[in-house]
């Protein structure tokens, strides 16, 4: 009886260890998505964009004002999809497509609806990509995507 209990306990521990290892292999990633309105008039930079103000000014030189429209933190597993609704007809979708060996890069599919736009990007944890998009009200839509960690 004691021998069966020990074997059962070891089997349970092995199963739990294996299950935990499999979930870690997939891993989660925190991905921050920001919708920004860049405009030629004004000189305002929203507080939520202070950390990337230099990059915005460098990449989009024609614009002087940057307004944070929406900000969303996505917690995605490989294969997972999240989104950010910007207005009644605009939505950004992010799909966590793949993770490289050793978590060096993550591949994301990025879709902007109305007008339709799709791209795949590879980002290292901590890196940021800025994508200038279609016209939006009195300016242009800029999407900022940042992978905050490799996942654990």
pLDDT at 115: 65
pLDDT at 26: 54
**Cα gap 89→52, rounded to integer Å:** 26
Sheet holding 139-147, edge to edge: 65-77, 28-39, 139-147, 128-136
Query: Does residue 20 fall inside a structural domain?
Result: no
Query: Does residue 18 fall inside a structural domain?
Result: no
Query: Does residue 118 fall inside a structural domain?
Result: yes
Q: How confident is the model at residue 86 (pLDDT cuts 50, 70, 90)?
A: confident
* Owning domain of residue 63: 28-147
Query: Does residue 86 fall inside a structural domain?
Result: yes
Q: How confident is the model at residue 134 (pLDDT cuts 50, 70, 90)?
A: confident
Considering the entire predicted model, what is its pTM? Answer: 0.76
Rounded to an integer, the average pLDDT of 121-140 is 87
Q: What pLDDT digit, counting tens, does each position of 14-64 carry?
A: 333 333 323 333 578 899 999 999 999 988 999 999 889 999 999 999 999
Query: Does residue 34 fall inside a structural domain?
Result: yes
Domain tally for the chain? 1
pLDDT at 130: 93
105's CB contacts (< 8 A; 6+ apart) are 99, 122, 123, 124
pLDDT at 106: 76
Query: Does residue 49 fall inside a structural domain?
Result: yes
Rounded to an integer, the average pLDDT of 67-81 is 92
């Amino acid at each position: 009886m004691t021998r069966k209990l020990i074997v059962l306990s070891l089997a349970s521990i092995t199963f739990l260890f294996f299950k935990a290892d499999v979930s870690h292999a997939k891993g989660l990633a925190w991905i921050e998505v920001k919708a920004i309105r860049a405009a030629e008039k004004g000189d305002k930079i929203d507080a939520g964009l202070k950390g990337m103000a230099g990059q915005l000014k460098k990449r989009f030189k024609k614009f002087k004002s940057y307004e944070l429209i929406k900000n969303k933190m996505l917690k995605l597993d490989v294969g997972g999809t999240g989104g950010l609704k910007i207005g009644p007809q605009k939505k950004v979708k992010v799909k966590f497509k793949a993770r490289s060996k050793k978590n060096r890069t993550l591949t994301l599919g990025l879709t902007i609806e109305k007008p339709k736009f799709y791209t795949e990007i590879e980002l290292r944890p901590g890196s940021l990509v800025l994508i200038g998009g279609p016209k939006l009200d009195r300016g242009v839509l800029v999407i900022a995507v940042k992978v905050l960690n490799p996942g654990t």
